[in-house]
Amino acid sequence: MGLKVLIVDDEMLARARLRTLLGECTNPPTSVAGEAASAAQALELLARQSFDVVLLDIHMPGADGMALAQTLRGMPDAPAVVFVTAHAEHALQAFELDAADYLTKPVRLSRLMVALQKIERRRLPARQEQREGLEEFLAIQDRGRTERVPLAEVVYLKAELKYVTVRTAARSYLFDGSLSELEEKYAPQFLRIHRNALVSRRAVRAVEKHFDDEEGEGWAVRLQGVNEVLAISRRQLPAVRELVSGSA
């Protein structure tokens, strides 16, 4: 995605210089998503859209860069601040405001890239947490420890006595829970094919004739990633066939 940058500097030539340098940054890739000539203009832009980084001058008419940085600290999902200034004496105060970096003019491309790479490294754990937050897991107690099994890897769920077998392409787990509760919670991902089994909708590959020792001749579903087939009840057969045909 790259870093979305807001340039805040009252000097037009200074903003142009930063635009040129950012256009040469490829690691990480960046884009200038906004420019402001004052702290007030910057706040207007920040109220309308989000930025990853603010390249911020200190001495500007009206509220200076330090005041703007202080305001940003109180904002939710505040962008990282990199001060870009001709005055080196404010560095200590800048880092007390949690600035990601402090660059002195004229800014060199290599130094700007170091600052941006530092910000990108900070963002990686947050993005990972977001991805994990979007990905659903089953928490399974296994030999005294808790293992998180991604729901996307589960091929089927099958009730067996007091437990539910959770089957992935790699292995099976025993889950202490109710098949009905799992069906209610994960209905978009799983389809009931029998009173004792749910299958991943994405894993269904075929419906075929099958002979079961208990139920006799009937139908079964073949799933991607496992060799065994699972019996389909007569009641659920239309829904499974509809899924296989691609109309579900």
Tell me the per-residue pLDDT of 89-101, one tens digit each, with 9 for 90 and over.
Answer: 888 888 888 899 9
- For domain 137-245, give the CATH superfamily: LytTr DNA-binding domain (2.40.50.1020)
**Share above pLDDT 90 across residues of the chain, in percent, rounded to a whole number:** 60
* pLDDT single digits (tens) 168-226: 999 999 998 899 999 988 888 999 999 999 999 999 999 999 877 666 789 999 999 99
Instruction: Kindly report the three-state secondary structure assignment for every residue of 184-236.
Output: HHCCCCEEEEECCEEEEHHHEEEEEEEEECCCEEEEEEEECCCCCEEEECCCC
Multiple choice CATH, 3-134, 3.40.50.150, 3.40.190.10, 1.10.10.60, 3.40.50.2300: 3.40.50.2300
* Rounded Cα–Cα distance for residues 140 and 227 (Å): 23
Q: What is the pTM of this model?
A: 0.52
Q: Are strands 216-223 and 229-232 parallel, antiparallel or unpaired?
A: antiparallel
State the greatest distance between any 2 C-alpha atoms of the chain, in Å, as a whole number: 86
Domain residue limits, the chain: 3-134, 137-245
pLDDT at 92: 83
Long-range contacts of 18-23 (CB under 8 A, 24+ apart): 18/55, 18/84, 18/107, 18/112, 21/107, 21/109, 21/112, 22/112
Q: How far apart are CA 23 and CA 101, in angstroms?
A: 19
